[in-house]
Amino acid sequence: MATAQTRMAARFMMAPSVIALLIWMIVPLSMTIWFSFQWYTAFRAPEFTGFDNYAYFFANPNIWTVFLNTLILVGGVLAITLVGGTLLALLLDQPIFGQGLVRLLVIAPFFVMPTVSALVWKNMLMHPVNGLFAWIAKVLGFSPVDWFAQVPLFSVIIIVAWQWLPFATLILLTALQSLDEEQREAAGMDGAGPIALFFYIILPHMSRALTVVMLIQTIFLLSVFAEIFVTTNGGPGVATTNLPFLIYLQAQFQYDFGLASAGGIVAVILANIVAIFLLRVVGKNLEA
């Protein structure tokens, strides 16, 4: 848009949606901030208490375990989906029989609701008595693993990673397919074998897509809730409690909306810190 006239018109016409979006975001956020400074439970009228809620929130003896759980969950799922997604994308890029069907099947987990997939994993795969994994272990002569009791956080990571793998695969496959065929041929003529081709040509080409996948997934993985709620309920102890789940516990069982709001604001701040950190580390990949 070149002239002052068209710029004005554009702004004027975009204004309604921009304002609607702003209200949509600002009202809940400012209400949460407001509640976080109130002594506000289900049984009494709200009353201003300053930073007391934050002090209580951080006074929780489990708070650092919860922070750590949150970061391990995000990091673990990211590691599995980025590595697995890259390998799957390389596989799906090969001309294979029934390519369309295979691609559809790979994408399918993304369409399954988190609660449903968590239930399937809990009752049909990881169940220590009836589960498929337990049956395989017994057939092979091992004693079955009680997944949610012995390696609870790892189990949750696997379930969440299974759900996000299709997303990563899809984006990375698209990136892979946009690689210029002549560049592969040139690298081949220059003497690059398959492994050198991957590390010198394919991986740098996919770096931007990897960055995008990483940023988008981080935002969603910081707020994983349904999988934990359905499988472990945050336990055993607080072994699988992450920040959103802790906030839920406080709002649900202690009826302390002020404290939960303070937790929510802490979660927002944590998400921003992680996002800024990631943008610093990998953000240069996004510059054209």
Partner 1 sequence: MGSITLEHVNKSFGGVEVIPDISLEIADGEFIVFVGPSGCGKSTLLRLIAGLEDVTSGRILIDGEDVSRAAPAQRKLSMVFQSYALYPHMSVRGNIAFPLKMEKAPREKIDQAVNNAAAILNLTDYLDRKPRQLSGGQRQRVAIGRAIVRQPKAFLFDEPLSNLDAALRVAMRLEISELHNKLKTTMVYVTHDQVEAMTMADKIVVLNAGRVEQFGSPLELYQRPANTFVAGFIGSPRMNFIDGAEAARHGAHTIGVRPEHLVVTPEGGDWSGVVKVSEHLGSDTFLHVDVDGIGALTARAPGDVPFRHGETVGLSPMNGRLYRFDAQGLAL
Q: Does the protein bind partner 1 through residue 190 (CB under 8 A)?
A: yes
Closer CB to partner 1, residue 140 or residue 189?
A: 189
Q: How far is the CB of 190 from partner 1 (least distance, A)?
A: 4
Binding to partner 1 by residue 205, rule CB under 8 A? Answer: yes
Q: Which is nearer to partner 1, 134 or 201 (CB)?
A: 201
Structure tokens belonging to residue 74: 């995000």
Residue 39, phi then psi, degrees to nearest 5 = -85, 100
Residues 28-57 that bind partner 1 (CB under 8 A): none
Asked if 232 contacts 249 with a C-beta cutoff of 8 angstroms, the reply is no
**Whole-angstrom Cα distance, residue 127 to residue 148?**
8
Among 188, 194, 236, 237, binds partner 1 (CB under 8 A): 188
Least distance from C-beta 212 to partner 1, angstroms? Answer: 16
End-to-end Cα separation, the chain, in angstroms: 22
Residue 278's Cβ-count burial label (10 Å; 0-12, 13-18, 19+) is middle
Binding of partner 1 by 204 (CB under 8 A): yes
Is the CB of 194 or the CB of 236 nearer to partner 1? 194
Looking at 187, 249, 268, 275, which residue binds partner 1 (CB under 8 A)?
A: 187
> What's the count of helices (H) and strands (E) in the chain, helices before strands?
14, 2
Contact 56, 259 (CB under 8 A): yes
100 scored as a contact of partner 1 (CB under 8 A):
no
Q: Which helix (H) or strand (E) holds 8?
A: helix 4-36
Q: Which has the closest alpha carbon to 227: 29, 68, 69, 57?
A: 69
- Note whether 60 binds partner 1 by CB under 8 A: no
Q: How many CB atoms lie within 10 A of CB 257?
A: 21
Q: Which C-beta is closer to partner 1: that of 151 or that of 214?
A: 214
Query: Is the Cβ–Cβ distance between 244 and 224 less than 8 Å?
Result: yes
Least distance (Å) from partner 1 to the CB of residue 281? 17
Which of the residues 242 through 261 are near partner 1 (CB under 8 A)? none
287 part of the interface to partner 1, by CB under 8 A: no
Which lies closer to partner 1 via its Cβ, residue 125 or residue 172?
Answer: 172
* Residue 192 interacting with partner 1 (CB under 8 A): yes
Stretch that binds partner 1, among 176-184, 215-223, 254-262, 268-276 (CB under 8 A): 176-184
With CA atoms as reference, report the closest residue to 76 among 180, 155, 172: 155
Tell me the CA distances in angstroms from 60 to 37, 52, 235, 270, 288, one per residue in order.
17, 13, 16, 17, 45
Question: Based on C-alpha coordinates, what's the Rg of the chain?
Answer: 24
Question: Using the rule CB under 8 A, is 200 a contact of partner 1?
Answer: yes
Of the residues 174, 183, 233, 272, which one makes contact with partner 1 according to CB under 8 A? 183
Total residues at interface with partner 1 (CB under 8 A)? 17
Residue from the set 15, 23, 185, 276 that interacts with partner 1 by CB under 8 A: 185
Cα–Cα distance, 273 to 279 (Å, whole number) = 10
| Residue 176 in contact with partner 1, rule: CB under 8 A | no
Please give the residue ranges that form the binding site for partner 1 (CB under 8 A).
180, 182-183, 185-192, 196, 200-201, 204-205, 207
